């Protein structure tokens, strides 16, 4: 029985931005008696059905955006008499759908690190169970990825996870419900081992694919202190100390190493943390700004964010402490008005964001928004091409609506075109060139311009773009630019790189 791990995608570029980490984790979780799994990432190239043989086990990881393509692959694998196992966020939320539409024999719900080996062994015995509940395992049980299997020259970024789960509860996000609100943090030993392995291979750009890299805020510590809860306070201090410990070890890596992560805006209150990030080569972070107005933040349960001038100051703080920000904004919130778009574009530029993304509000399965939206449509929701609107990811792409909620004052078309114009404003050639001013070398500035354009065009393919002609053009442009861009990211292999040691002079407490 051979094991296949397939990352579905309807479009392949030959080169991809980021390694699909789950494939390399499940490869490591595959018992050695099955040999090395066959990894297929369809963002590179499409699966070859001929390679799937009777009795093989085929693992397919899906999220909502690639579920339809995943189901196509599942049916092909089932026709070839393989054992079909689905996993990932979407299969966790809709296991029955993977069975009905994707030919699944089994679905792994939650973390696959531990249950994957059990599912494979049951397949070998010809008796896979319909559901394997992986749940939310402790960080000590997270499996380190098998990077020896990665095709080094086809990815720009590698991905390593340091913490799973997020204590917040944003209405549009499923992370806190699927990964939990208790941050599960890996020790610095296992994280640094993986990172050094990647640097030895020649990856110098590494995404810290965390739900929230700043799981303990100063406000959390202050609250535990005021509640006179010493146990909680110690737990939080310990977690914070472990973050600093990891960052101190990352700081010992070669100077040209670049990390990128996700973080909440609250980190701006904690300049000691930002300085440690910068020293640790964490040069950039995605910050969910969502909205520039207090009403918009209320709409998405994110009132811990700032609005107005305070927002701009907070975002600038990141950059002043050496951390570039990719700001993420949502349009189509009930409180948005036509003037919100220009205000947002102006705030993104004034806050000195290095990159920005502007998405329209969509109800994602597993979120509070989705549950609320599903309820409003009642037991008999409208259908498109025979698919209920509440299962929108099954509607063929070309027929999918651009917006799922009626907005109080704007049409879907108005929201779409205004969103598009904010993208165009932020990613015009002139503003990009101006933003690249922080880079000294002209080669570096050129790289920045290319990356900004490729980022903008890749997004054009994910529902933000206007019409199919624009999407097709974007696809071509991205394919054309992807290879030279990848070369800009490549590093020199460092086979002799040593694992940075653990320093003993780290802060373990915080003065409040």
| Contact positions vs ligand SF4 (CB under 6 A) | 166, 168-170, 173, 175-176, 211-212, 264, 288
C-alpha pair distances (Å), 478 with each of 102, 459, 462, 471, 473:
30, 10, 13, 10, 9
Taking the complex as a whole, the smallest distance from the CB of residue 304 to ligand SF4 amounts, in Å, to: 8
C-alpha pair distances (Å), 150 with each of 87, 203, 492, 506:
21, 11, 16, 34
Taking the complex as a whole, the smallest distance from the CB of residue 196 to ligand SF4 amounts, in Å, to: 27
- The dihedrals phi and psi of 273, each to the nearest 5 degrees, come to -70, -45
Taking the complex as a whole, the smallest distance from the CB of residue 166 to ligand SF4 amounts, in Å, to: 3
Nearer to ligand SF4, 213 or 404 (CB): 213
Nearer to ligand SF4, 158 or 173 (CB): 173
Nearest CA to 221 out of 208, 238, 243, 198 is that of: 238
Residue 427 CB contacts under 8 Å (≥ 6 apart), including other chains: 452, 453, 455, 456
C-alpha pair distances (Å), 451 with each of 95, 433, 436, 478, 511:
37, 12, 11, 10, 41
The residue written with tokens 């951390």 in the block is 323
Taking the complex as a whole, the smallest distance from the CB of residue 305 to ligand SF4 amounts, in Å, to: 9
Nearer to ligand SF4, 284 or 288 (CB): 288
Taking the complex as a whole, the smallest distance from the CB of residue 217 to ligand SF4 amounts, in Å, to: 11
Nearer to ligand SF4, 62 or 166 (CB): 166
Nearer to ligand SF4, 41 or 179 (CB): 179
Nearer to ligand SF4, 268 or 485 (CB): 268
The residue written with tokens 């309820």 in the block is 375
Nearer to ligand SF4, 25 or 170 (CB): 170
Residue 140 sits at the vertex; the CA angle it makes with 505 and 30, to the nearest 5 degrees, is 135
Taking the complex as a whole, the smallest distance from the CB of residue 74 to ligand SF4 amounts, in Å, to: 28
The burial of 338, by beta-carbon neighbours within 10 Å (0-12 exposed, 13-18 middle, 19 or more buried), is given as exposed
Nearest CA to 304 out of 289, 322, 286 is that of: 289
Q: Which two tokens stand for residue 385?
A: 């091409």
Give CA–CA dist 156/485, Å, rounded.
Answer: 8
Taking the complex as a whole, the smallest distance from the CB of residue 299 to ligand SF4 amounts, in Å, to: 13
Residue 203 CB contacts under 8 Å (≥ 6 apart), including other chains: 152, 155, 157, 158, 491
Q: Are 104 and 98 in contact (CB under 8 A)?
A: yes
Count CA within 13 A, CB hemisphere, residue 441: 3
Taking the complex as a whole, the smallest distance from the CB of residue 136 to ligand SF4 amounts, in Å, to: 15
Taking the complex as a whole, the smallest distance from the CB of residue 317 to ligand SF4 amounts, in Å, to: 18
Calculate the dihedral angle through the C-alpha atoms of 73, 77, 83, 86, rounding to the nearest 10 degrees: 0
Nearer to ligand SF4, 212 or 419 (CB): 212
Give CA–CA dist 118/124, Å, rounded.
Answer: 10
Taking the complex as a whole, the smallest distance from the CB of residue 65 to ligand SF4 amounts, in Å, to: 17
C-alpha pair distances (Å), 349 with each of 65, 316, 327:
30, 11, 10
Taking the complex as a whole, the smallest distance from the CB of residue 318 to ligand SF4 amounts, in Å, to: 15
To which H or E segment does residue 109 belong?
strand 106-110
Nearer to ligand SF4, 120 or 170 (CB): 170
Nearer to ligand SF4, 102 or 366 (CB): 366
Nearer to ligand SF4, 132 or 176 (CB): 176
Do the strands 205-208 and 155-160 form a parallel or antiparallel pair, or are they unpaired? parallel
Number of residues assigned to the chain = 512
């Amino acid at each position: 029985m051979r094991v296949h791990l397939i990352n579905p995608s309807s479009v392949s570029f030959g080169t991809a931005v980021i390694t699909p980490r789950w494939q390399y984790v499940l490869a490591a979780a595959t018992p050695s008696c099955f040999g090395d799994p066959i990894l297929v990432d369809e963002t590179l190239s499409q699966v070859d059905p001929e390679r799937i043989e009777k009795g093989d086990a085929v693992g397919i990881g899906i999220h909502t955006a690639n579920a339809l393509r995943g189901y196509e692959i599942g049916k092909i694998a089932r026709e070839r008499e393989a054992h079909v196992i689905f996993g990932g966020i979407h299969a966790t939320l809709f296991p029955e759908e993977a069975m009905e539409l994707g030919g699944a024999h089994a679905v792994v719900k939650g973390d696959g690190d531990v249950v994957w080996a059990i599912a494979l062994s049951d397949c070998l015995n010809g008796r896979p169970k319909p559901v394997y509940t992986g749940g939310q395992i402790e960080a000590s049980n997270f499996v380190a990825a098998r990077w020896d299997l990665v095709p080094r020259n086809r990815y720009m970024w590698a991905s390593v996870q340091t913490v799973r789960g997020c204590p917040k509860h944003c209405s549009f996000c499923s992370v806190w419900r699927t990964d939990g609100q208790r941050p599960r943090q890996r020790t610095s030993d296992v994280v640094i081992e993986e990172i050094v392995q990647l640097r030895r291979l020649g990856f110098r750009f590494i995404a810290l694919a965390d739900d929230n890299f700043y799981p303990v805020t100063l406000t959390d510590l202050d609250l535990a202190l005021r509640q006179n809860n010493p146990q909680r306070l110690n737990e939080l201090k310990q977690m914070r100390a472990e973050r600093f410990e990891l960052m101190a070890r990352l700081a010992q890596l070669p100077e040209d190493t670049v990390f990128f992560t996700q973080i909440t805006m609250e980190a701006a209150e904690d300049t000691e943390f930002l300085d440690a990030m910068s020293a640790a080569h964490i040069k950039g972070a995605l910050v969910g700004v969502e909205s520039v107005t207090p009403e918009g933040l209320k709409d998405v349960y994110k009132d811990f964010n700032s609005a107005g001038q305070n927002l701009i100051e907070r975002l600038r703080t990141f950059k002043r402490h050496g951390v570039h920000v990719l700001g993420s904004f949502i349009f189509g919130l009930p409180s948005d008005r036509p003037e919100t778009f220009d205000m947002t574009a102006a705030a993104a530029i004034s806050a000195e964001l290095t990159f920005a993304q502007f998405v329209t509000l969509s109800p994602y399965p597993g979120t509070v928004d989705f549950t609320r939206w599903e309820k409003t449509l009642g037991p008999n929701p409208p259908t498109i091409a025979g698919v209920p609107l509440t299962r929108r990811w099954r509607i063929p792409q070309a027929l999918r609506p651009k917006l799922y909620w009626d907005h109080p004052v704007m049409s879907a078309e108005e929201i779409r075109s205004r969103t598009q114009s904010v993208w165009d404003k932020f990613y015009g050639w002139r503003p990009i060139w101006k933003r690249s001013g922080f880079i000294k070398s002209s080669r570096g500035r050129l790289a920045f311009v290319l990356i900004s354009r490729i980022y903008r065009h890749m997004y054009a393919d994910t529902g933000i773009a206007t019409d199919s002609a624009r999407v097709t053009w974007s696809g071509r442009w991205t394919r054309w630019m992807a290879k030279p861009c990848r070369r800009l990211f490549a590093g020199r292999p460092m086979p002799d790189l040593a694992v940075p040691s653990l320093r003993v002079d780290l802060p373990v407490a915080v003065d409040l």
